[in-house]
Amino acid sequence: MSRLLIAGVGNVLRGDDGFGPAVIDALGTLPDGVESCETGTGGVALLQELLAGCDGLVLVDAVDRGAEPGRLFELHADVGEAVHVADMHLANPDRVLSIAKTMGALPDRVRILGCQVLDVEPMDQGLSPAVAAAVPEAVAMAHRIVAAWLEEPARV
């Protein structure tokens, strides 16, 4: 396995939307072959990371699934083919994954590690208490996912 990527998506100036970057900041030391990056709101920076190549992607992002704030979800990505995106600055992570798939740059292993938000509307830096409390568990989940991938035999 050549490279596993943990990518944090989000806007740190929009309250709980900064969950992805907060997890990336808290990851600590990663095993050999695992890299992390913060991609902002997930447009072209995430696509560039995927085009550089990786064997697995853990995408860390704020989600709204109607659950209690701070609840974590490990989701398997269901990525369809890309549709035209007129402005890559407006591309959300779902669209970027679709574009990467269409370009042949999406790895077979993709997990989305999402945290239910309380509020992403205010122009405010900082996570709500419930989402902030979920960061350590999200870090542990990300480490478990990549550790399991590192233990799997190489795919040919």
SS3 128: coil
CA distances from 48 to 31, 86, 92, 107 (A): 22, 17, 14, 13
**What are the domain boundaries of the chain?**
4-151
The architecture CATH gives domain 4-151: 3-Layer(aba) Sandwich (3.40)
> For each of the chain's 156 residues, which pLDDT tens digit applies?
479 999 999 988 889 999 999 999 999 999 999 999 998 876 778 888 999 999 999 999 999 999 999 999 998 877 766 666 555 544 567 778 888 888 889 999 999 999 999 977 767 788 999 999 999 999 999 999 999 999 986 554
Is the Cβ–Cβ distance between 143 and 50 less than 8 Å? no
Q: What is the Cα–Cα distance from 133 to 11, expressed in whole angstroms?
A: 18
Q: What is the DSSP letter of 122?
A: S
